[in-house]
Structure 1
Amino acid sequence: MPKVLVPLAEGCEELEAVTIIDLLRRAGIDVVTAGLKPGLVKASRGVQLMPDTTLDAALDGHYDMVVLPGGMPGAAHLKADARIIGLLKKTAAAGHYTAAICAAPMVLAEAGLLQGKQATSYPGFLDGLPGVAVSTAAVVQDGKVLTSRGPGTAMDFALALIEALAGREVRQQVENALVRT
């Protein structure tokens, strides 16, 4: 069973975080949520999220994918955290997936993972970065890097993550059960 780490930072976009966690778990994927610090994480709209563990405790684990929810200032907190940057570099170097939505693709860029890649983000967050081909697509996968635009694309993003980790059939099963038209 694939294992995914979803770091949660104060000010993250709750719609993105919860959609990613929920859909991946519906697919039978082992999801670990980790707060940058101990305790509840207050998301951008005031929703309080209780991480499974702390980032420090989660860093020793093996993950097939690290997924960063966006939102501000959540994405800025992720970008400023050296542990996150190191984890992303380590994950990519091991040949595993990295993924980010909304403002969080800027964190992938900070880790050097978007160089020579096509990516998308919330408008403006990747503009002007040399070596990044910015797309306006809802979800972009370039090799082992997946990016998405924002809250409105969170479900499409989570389904793409499922497909990358567990295959098209599992994605279709989850999507059918959601009664998407």
Structure 2
Amino acid sequence: MARILIPLAQGCEELEAVTVIDLLRRAGLDVVTAGLEAGPVKASRGVMLLPDVLLDDVLDQPFQMIVLPGGLPGADHLDRDPRIRTLLERVTRENGYTAAICAAPKVLASAGLLAGRRATGYPGVLEPLNLQDVAIDTAAVVQDGQVITSRGPGTAMDFALELISILAGKEKRAEVEAGLVR
């Protein structure tokens, strides 16, 4: 079974984080939420999230996917954390998946993981980075190889369902989606 890491930073977008965590767990996937620091995470709209573990406690554990929720300043905290960069590089090297939504695709860009790829993100997040070798798309979800990006809170469900398709197959996605009464 695929093991997924979702780092939670202060100021993350709660709709994105909770939607992805919830739907991946509905699919029976092994989801680990990890706080960058001890204690609850106060999300961008004031919702308090309680991570499963501290990030330091899982740094050496294997993951097949890392999913970065967006939101500000959450994505900035992820971008400045060298542990996140190390994890992204390791998962990429091990042929795993890296996924980011909203403002978090800029973390993938900073790590060099969007070079030569198509990607999307919250409007205005990637464009100022002058990424000459990234084709910025406006689709709700974009997969280019092992990298998956999405636009924002309104696309969180589509993003999570696509991650289920990738990790558990289209039948599992259909099963989870049916239970959502979409």
Fold shared, TM-score > 0.5 on shorter chain: yes
Q: Which runs of 5+ in 1 are unaligned?
A: none
1:58, distance to aligned residue in structure 2 (A):
1.3
For residue 3 of structure 1, what is the aligned residue in structure 2? 3
1:126, distance to aligned residue in structure 2 (A):
1.0
Would you say how many aligned residue pairs link Structure 1 and Structure 2?
180
For residue 20 of structure 1, what is the aligned residue in structure 2? 20
1:63, distance to aligned residue in structure 2 (A):
0.5
Could you list the structure 1 runs, at least 4 aligned residues long, displaced by more than 6 angstroms after superposition. none
Secondary structure at the aligned position of 1:85 is classed as helix
Amino acid at match of 1:79: D
Within 5 Å, which residues of 2 pair with 1:80-119?
A: 80-119=80-119
Amino acid at match of 2:57: A
Within 5 Å, which residues of 2 pair with 1:80-159?
A: 80-127=80-127, 128-159=130-161
Q: Which runs of 5+ in 2 are unaligned?
A: none
1:78 aligns with 2:78: yes
Alpha-carbon distance between aligned partners in 2 of 1:98 and 1:66, rounded to the nearest angstrom: 5
Q: How high is the TM-score relative to the length of structure 2?
A: 0.98
Q: How high is the TM-score relative to the length of structure 1?
A: 0.99
1:106, distance to aligned residue in structure 2 (A):
0.2
1:124, distance to aligned residue in structure 2 (A):
1.1
Kindly indicate whether the alpha-carbon contact (under 8 Å) linking 1:43 and 1:49 is maintained by their aligned counterparts in 2.
yes
1:113, distance to aligned residue in structure 2 (A):
0.4
Alpha-carbon distance between aligned partners in 1 of 2:49 and 2:120, rounded to the nearest angstrom: 26
Alpha-carbon distance between aligned partners in 1 of 2:86 and 2:112, rounded to the nearest angstrom: 11
Alpha-carbon distance between aligned partners in 2 of 1:36 and 1:139, rounded to the nearest angstrom: 26
Alpha-carbon distance between aligned partners in 1 of 2:98 and 2:60, rounded to the nearest angstrom: 17
Kindly indicate whether the alpha-carbon contact (under 8 Å) linking 1:86 and 1:111 is maintained by their aligned counterparts in 2.
no
RMSD: 0.5
Alpha-carbon distance between aligned partners in 2 of 1:141 and 1:59, rounded to the nearest angstrom: 25
1:57-100, CA deviations, whole angstroms, 9 ceiling, x for partnerless residues?
01111101000000000000000000001110111011000000
Secondary structure at the aligned position of 1:147 is classed as strand
Report the identity percentage: 67
